[in-house]
């Protein structure tokens, strides 16, 4: 503070310019977790090279412009970052009151996919096409809305100080909140997303402090449910085939097992330092299908090697590590649940995606957060980063 | 971290958050571990798989080296043909998988669409031929016979023929230069087998066989395959998952093979082939009193050798075949015609694989054996009409009698009884049927002349022949004893039964009859025409046995010497000095007054100017007509001709062998010598000279044959009778009884 002389009155709250305000200790910018944001940015921007490498030779996808996917991925990242900033700008408190509207809005979009507005890609009726090649996958946003919806319901009475832990009634309400969009997504059918949501529900319940019987009961119910789905033939043939090929990759290397076998060859042949960007045999030869989306990790593995692959996993680790810190330091249960939900979501999705690339998880159409090409996923994960940042900004200065 | 306000969290939530954090970390650690396993532990295995996925090799065949005669004439060359090929990868990228293009192509080439489609389909277990056996990335030849017009149509309308090329390509050509075929000597090529491709897959460079390779399978093509083949060029292409080419991973250009200069003279070769055919045709007009029909003359062979080096100037075998049948893959029908029973096996080179008893041509060896055993060259020996040895009568040819004669005379008139006596006498000295430290001069001398062993000629599948010495007798007895005794036990009284009985008792013993038969080149002795040419060359050159060779030098495609194939002395024959002069004189006597006089001096040969030496032979074969032999030499050349079921030595081959000498020295039918007409008055020592473009500079004029030339057609193979002169004959005992006469 500057003194201008004894005759001057000193303002209690200093009048500051916009720049000074933005750099002030209590400003949202100063209160952001920059390690997490920069890691996420590094992943998103760096992966544009992987997406580029995977697609520049695929003329049937790029419409003759080898940089098509590079620019699209960068644009998606930019939009994602803006959405993140908007989320931070709105702030947790205001957003908390808006959760019902967000939830209902996403539910409407989900329902729209089942109407003639939706379109089918890879056997899933999970897309809404807009003009100009722009399309949306509402299931990605549904993951967000489930986390937010459950957080609101579970934390309401605890944060009000009425109870120490969520009541069974709250738990049931939260499960209903999650079940409705999951039901719609199951109709698409997008079982990969349903699987992610199932895991997210566990994470949310775990972090909410709900009674142990709920947590373990749900794990048991999930297992029985999965078995029932398997036995009752709800799954379509290609989903069973995918799973069979995972259990035994040599079963049908030319057919179902082809994707995983080729992805594994790509990654394995990368060695320690990889074959160099744009020089992977498997990538330039387009041997790995869906390589810019579900199998984007195989590009990193082949062209950047163990060093690149571990680097990518490490960046995800940094984001998740910082997110765990945010969850622990949240000032209310709402923030804790929100952060834990996002952590479970990103962590499981990263594990499932990289795991299927490495052949230790069955194939499911799940994108790798920040890395896979795809607008909806990119937007959703950046909004999630925004949510984490706004939870962090709740805590008192000095922490 | 002091001054923490109320966070709204309970102990339970804090613990659960720690659990969540640990779970997240362990998931990431799992991924890291698995990544390490895939990329570091087992990475090389995946790298190999990626390489195999990604790299396709297209080969550019090397131009095979040429086989030249001694003057540089192209015996085997390469012909540029317009080959129309189709790229499968390009066809598969088309909407209808190339069906329309192939149909159009068939139209241009005048073929049925089905024929073209069949040629470009890939072979597998279920696909019948025709189909493509090579790499699917290799352009598949549809025809090697495209006309220029067809090629133009294809190349000018490229948009109508995507994936089709019409390119001039080198195709093997057996030229028949100067009319010479030399089929069995040159050999042929055939594509590599799958087995050869897979068994050399881990080799590199020239060692590695590629699906497009052609390998020499017979003759010089086979022996000098490594020199001729060159190095195949390899274009490594990077392909994508659809097999589309997306880049190049390096190119190794093709390197032409080296040329082989041989000692063959194409013009002499032509004369020898014609004369062999003529001799066989003539023999078939002669009536055989023994079998009461004309001579079959089913097969024959002739060799002309340079006596100073052992180099082969001409080598013919009848019946013969057209090596061009093998170019571009032999058809099943043609192959069967060359190999089935009725074909009389034209693929066999009878000069090195044909076996027969040498008959009286063996007597030069017997003479040497007698002298080595201590009989005097100046002595006189009785030549009665017959001798009774071991209870069996051995007769002279047609029961002739000459009183006491010298060894020289015995050779000249081919008196069998003189050699019977010498051999029997020697057999008695060796202990008879109870041998005591036998000297075995006769069989020992045969070995010293190189019989019973391969000559080492640079041709494949040569056979060794047989000298029926005591060792062989024992081995043969051990192998056949059971069969002989079984036949003897039946108690028959046919000639064969008697023989079997005798053999069963003491077949391992060298009996008097064996020794007597051996001395006149009958019995179990088997020789090849090349072995005899080598022996008579040694008699001509002063006693040196050379290893016969056809290859003279390996030259680079631009005419530089790569490797010289020098003559190789294998040793000396035991006839030296006085004995050699003696044999020389006796064999000259055969030409002037002996058994071959009527075909040489009597037919106008100028013996005073160009001295020839000869020995005739008529070998008996059980159940067949006699094999004729004529072994001759001049100062520079040895000429040997033999005809299976061809009559007597002089009668069967006399005219033909004389005509070969006439051609070599430029002698006309009246005996006048014209050096300008001589094909080869002296063997050619120098290698041919080459133009900078690799073609040879050929100076000599072509030969104008003396006498009648109405023998251009090769001898047709005779009927279904099994050939008498066959490599396989070595497996069966060819037993013959006495009586030999040239």
Query: Cα separation of B261 and B64, whole Å?
Result: 14
Q: How many beta-carbon contacts under 8 Å exist across A and B?
A: 171
Residue A253: give the domain boundaries: 31-116+143-392
Query: Cα separation of B606 and B602, whole Å?
Result: 10
HSE, side-chain direction, 13 A CA sphere, residue A60: 3
Per-residue pLDDT band at A397 (split at 50, 70, 90): low
pLDDT of residue B715 exceeding 50, the answer is: no
Residue A269 sits at φ, ψ, to 5 deg, of -75, -10
Domains in chain B, please, with CATH?
56-257 (3.90.1310.10), 267-320+527-731 (3.30.450.330), 361-519 (3.40.710)
Contact B9 A333 (CB under 8 A): yes
pLDDT of residue A21 exceeding 50, the answer is: yes
Residue A86 domain-assigned? yes
Residue A125 domain-assigned? no
Per-residue pLDDT band at A259 (split at 50, 70, 90): confident
Q: What is the mean pLDDT of residues B312-330?
A: 87
Q: What is the pLDDT of residues A184-232, one digit of tens each?
A: 998 887 888 998 999 999 999 999 998 889 988 988 988 888 788 777 7
- Would strands B245-252 and B233-239 be described as parallel, antiparallel, or unpaired? antiparallel
Of B1, B13, B30, the CB nearest to A336: B13
Query: Cα separation of B252 and B57, whole Å?
Result: 11
Residues of B with Cβ-Cβ distance to A348 under 8 angstroms: 27
Q: Tell me, what's the pLDDT at A295?
A: 93
Residue A181 domain-assigned? yes
B21 touches chain A (CB under 8 A): yes
Contact A265 B27 (CB under 8 A): no
Residues of A with Cβ-Cβ distance to B43 under 8 angstroms: 268-272
Residue B387 sits at φ, ψ, to 5 deg, of -135, 140
Contact A271 B45 (CB under 8 A): no
Q: Which of B40, B31, B44, B38 is nearest to A264 (CA)?
A: B38
Q: Is the peptide bond before A101 cis (omega within 30 degrees of 0)?
A: no
- Residue B736 vs residue A291, higher pLDDT: A291
Residues of A with Cβ-Cβ distance to B9 under 8 angstroms: 328, 330, 333, 336
How many structural domains compose chain A?
Answer: 1
Per-residue pLDDT band at B723 (split at 50, 70, 90): very low
Residue A320 domain-assigned? yes
- Residue B558 vs residue B613, higher pLDDT: B613
Residues of B with Cβ-Cβ distance to A271 under 8 angstroms: 39-40, 43-44, 47
Contact A203 B20 (CB under 8 A): yes
Q: Which residue out of A196, A210, A269 would a mutagenesis test of the B interface target, given it has the greatest number of B Cβ atoms within 10 Å?
A: A269
- Determine the residue of chain B that is closest to A162 in CA distance: B8
Q: Which residue out of B2, B7, B240 would a mutagenesis test of the A interface target, given it has the greatest number of A Cβ atoms within 10 Å?
A: B7
Contact A287 B16 (CB under 8 A): no
Residue A261 domain-assigned? yes
Contact B8 A330 (CB under 8 A): yes
Contact B35 A313 (CB under 8 A): yes
Q: What is the mean pLDDT of residues B240-263?
A: 82
CB neighbour list of residue B316: distance below 8 Å, 6 or more residues apart: B182, B269, B272, B273, B276, B301, B302, B303, B351
- C-alpha dihedral (A154, A160, A161, A167), degrees to nearest 10: -30
Q: What is the mean pLDDT of residues A337-355?
A: 96
Residue B288 sits at φ, ψ, to 5 deg, of -100, 115
Residues of B with Cβ-Cβ distance to A61 under 8 angstroms: none
- Angle B676-B681-B687 (CA atoms, 0-180°, nearest 5)? 105
Residue A48 domain-assigned? yes
DSSP string, B57-125: EEEEPPPPPPEE-TT--EEEEEEEEEEEEE-HHHHHHSTTTTHHHHHHHHHHHT--HHHHHHHHSBP-T
Q: Tell me, what's the pLDDT at A248?
A: 54
Average pLDDT, chain B: 84
pLDDT of residue A303 exceeding 90, the answer is: yes
Of A165, A206, A328, the CB nearest to B14: A328
Interface of B with A in 243-302 (CB under 8 A): 246-247
Q: What is the mean pLDDT of residues A120-132?
A: 73
**pLDDT-wise least confident of B531-535, B621-625, B652-656:** B621-625
**Residue found under tokens 């373990």:** A216
Residue A8 domain-assigned? no
Contact B27 A207 (CB under 8 A): no
Residue A9 domain-assigned? no
- Determine the residue of chain A that is closest to B32 in CA distance: A310
Q: What is the pLDDT of residues B487-541, one digit of tens each?
A: 888 877 888 888 888 888 888 888 888 889 999 999 899 999 999 999 999 999 9
Q: What is the pLDDT of residues B339-366, one digit of tens each?
A: 888 888 999 999 999 999 999 999 999 9
């Amino acid at each position: 503070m500057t003194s201008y002389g004894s005759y001057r009155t000193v303002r209690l709250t200093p009048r500051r310019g916009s720049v000074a305000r933005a750099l002030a200790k209590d400003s949202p910018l100063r209160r952001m977790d920059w390690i997490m944001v920069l890691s996420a940015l590094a992943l998103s921007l760096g992966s544009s090279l992987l997406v580029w490498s995977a697609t520049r030779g695929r003329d049937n996808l790029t419409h003759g412009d080898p940089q098509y996917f590079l620019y699209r991925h960068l644009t998606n990242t930019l939009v994602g970052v803006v959405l993140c900033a908007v989320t931070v700008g709105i702030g947790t408190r205001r957003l908390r009151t808006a959760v019902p509207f967000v939830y209902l809005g996403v539910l409407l979009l989900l329902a729209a996919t089942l109407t003639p507005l939706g379109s089918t890609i890879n056997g899933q009726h999970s897309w809404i096409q807009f003009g100009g090649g722009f399309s949306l996958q509402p299931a990605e946003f549904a993951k967000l809305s489930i986390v937010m919806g459950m957080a609101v319901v579970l934390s309401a009475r605890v944060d009000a100080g009425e109870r120490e832990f969520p009541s069974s009634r709250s738990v049931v309400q939260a499960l209903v909140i999650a079940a409705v969009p999951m039901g719609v997504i199951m109709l698409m059918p997008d079982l990969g997303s349903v699987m992610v949501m199932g895991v997210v529900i566990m994470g949310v319940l775990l972090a909410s402090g709900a009674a142990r019987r709920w947590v373990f009961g749900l794990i048991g119910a999930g297992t029985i449910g999965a078995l029932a789905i398997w036995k009752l033939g709800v799954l379509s043939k290609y989903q069973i085939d995918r799973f069979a090929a995972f259990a035994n990759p040599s079963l049908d290397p030319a057919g179902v097992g082809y994707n995983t076998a080729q992805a594994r060859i790509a990654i394995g042949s990368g060695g320690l330092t990889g074959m160099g960007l744009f020089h992977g045999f498997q990538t330039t030869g387009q041997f790995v299908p869906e390589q810019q989306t579900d199998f984007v990790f195989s590009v990193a593995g082949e062209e950047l090697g163990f060093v690149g692959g571990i680097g990518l996993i490490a960046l995800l680790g940094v984001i998740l590590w910082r997110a765990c810190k945010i969850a622990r330091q949240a000032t209310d249960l709402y923030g804790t649940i929100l952060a834990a939900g996002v952590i479970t979501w990103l962590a499981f999705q990263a594990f499932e995606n990289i795991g299927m690339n490495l052949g230790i998880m069955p194939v499911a159409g799940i994108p790798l957060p920040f890395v896979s090409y795809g607008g909806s996923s990119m937007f959703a994960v950046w909004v999630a980063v925004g949510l984490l940042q706004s939870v962090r900004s709740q805590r008192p200065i000095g922490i | 971290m002091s001054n923490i306000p109320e966070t709204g969290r309970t102990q339970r939530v804090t613990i659960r958050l720690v659990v969540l954090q640990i779970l997240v970390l362990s998931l990431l650690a799992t991924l890291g571990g698995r990544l390490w396993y895939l990329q570091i532990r087992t990475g090389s295995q995946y790298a190999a798989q990626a390489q195999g996925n990604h790299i396709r090799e297209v080969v550019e065949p090397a131009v095979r080296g040429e086989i030249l005669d001694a003057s540089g004439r192209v015996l085997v060359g390469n012909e540029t043909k317009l080959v129309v090929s189709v790229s499968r990868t390009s066809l598969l990228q088309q909407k209808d998988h190339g069906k329309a293009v192939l149909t159009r192509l068939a139209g241009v080439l005048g073929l049925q669409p089905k024929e073209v489609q069949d040629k470009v389909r890939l072979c597998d277990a279920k696909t019948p031929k025709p189909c493509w056996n090579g790499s699917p990335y290799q352009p598949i030849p549809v025809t090697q016979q495209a006309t220029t017009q067809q090629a133009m149509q294809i190349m000018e309308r490229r948009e109508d023929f995507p994936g089709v090329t019409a390119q001039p390509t080198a195709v093997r050509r057996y030229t028949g230069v100067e009319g010479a075929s030399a089929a069995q000597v040159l050999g042929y090529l055939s594509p590599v087998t799958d087995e050869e491709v897979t068994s050399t897959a881990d080799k590199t460079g020239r060692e590695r066989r590629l699906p497009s390779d052609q390998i020499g399978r017979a003759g010089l093509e086979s022996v000098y395959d490594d020199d001729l083949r060159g190095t195949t060029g390899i274009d490594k292409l990077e392909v994508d998952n659809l097999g589309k080419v997306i880049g190049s991973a390096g190119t190794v250009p093709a390197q032409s093979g080296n040329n082989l200069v041989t000692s063959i003279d194409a013009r002499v070769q032509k004369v020898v082939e014609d004369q062999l055919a003529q001799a066989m045709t003539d023999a078939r007009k002669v009536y055989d009193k023994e079998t009461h029909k004309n001579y079959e003359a089913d097969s024959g062979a002739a060799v002309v050798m340079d006596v100073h080096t052992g180099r082969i100037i001409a080598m013919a075998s009848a019946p013969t075949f057209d090596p061009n049948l093998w170019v571009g893959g032999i058809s099943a029908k043609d192959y069967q015609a060359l190999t089935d029973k009725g074909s009389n096996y034209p693929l066999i080179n009878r000069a090195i694989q044909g076996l027969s008893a040498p008959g009286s041509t063996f007597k030069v060896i017997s003479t040497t054996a007698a002298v080595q055993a201590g009989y005097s060259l100046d002595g006189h020996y009785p030549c009665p009409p017959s001798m009774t040895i071991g209870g069996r009568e051995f007769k002279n040819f047609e029961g002739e009698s000459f009183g006491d004669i010298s060894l020289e005379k015995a050779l000249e008139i081919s008196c069998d009884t003189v050699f019977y006596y010498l051999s029997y006498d020697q057999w008695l000295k060796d202990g008879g049927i109870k041998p005591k430290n036998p000297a075995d001069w006769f069989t020992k001398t045969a070995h010293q002349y190189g019989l019973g062993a391969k000559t080492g000629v640079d041709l494949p599948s040569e056979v060794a022949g047989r000298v029926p010495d005591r060792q062989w007798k024992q081995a043969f007895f051990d192998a056949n004893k059971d069969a002989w005794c079984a036949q003897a036990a039946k108690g028959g009284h046919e000639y064969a039964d008697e023989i079997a009985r005798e053999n069963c008792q003491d077949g391992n013993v060298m009996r008097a009859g064996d020794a007597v038969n051996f001395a006149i080149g009958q019995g179990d002795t088997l020789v090849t025409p090349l072995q005899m040419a080598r022996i008579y060359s040694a008699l001509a050159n002063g006693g040196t046995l050379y290893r016969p060779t056809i290859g003279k030098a390996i030259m680079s495609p631009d005419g530089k010497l790569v490797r010289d194939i020098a003559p190789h002395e294998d040793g000396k024959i035991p006839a030296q000095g006085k004995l050699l002069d003696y044999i020389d004189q006796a064999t000259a006597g055969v030409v002037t007054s002996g058994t071959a006089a009527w075909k040489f001096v009597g037919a106008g040969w100028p013996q005073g100017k160009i001295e020839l030496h000869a020995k005739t032979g008529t070998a008996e074969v059980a159940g067949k007509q006699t094999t004729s032999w004529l072994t001759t030499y001049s100062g520079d050349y040895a000429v040997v001709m033999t005809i299976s079921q061809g009559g007597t030595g002089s009668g069967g081959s006399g005219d033909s062998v004389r005509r070969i000498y006439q051609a070599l020295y430029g002698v006309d039918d009246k005996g006048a010598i014209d050096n300008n007409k001589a094909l080869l008055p002296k063997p050619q020592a120098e290698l041919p000279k080459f133009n900078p473009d690799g073609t040879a500079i050929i100076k000599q004029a072509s030969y104008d044959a003396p006498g009648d030339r109405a023998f251009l057609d090769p001898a047709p193979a005779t009927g279904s009778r099994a050939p008498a002169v066959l490599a396989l004959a070595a497996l069966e005992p060819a037993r013959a009884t006495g009586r030999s006469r040239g």
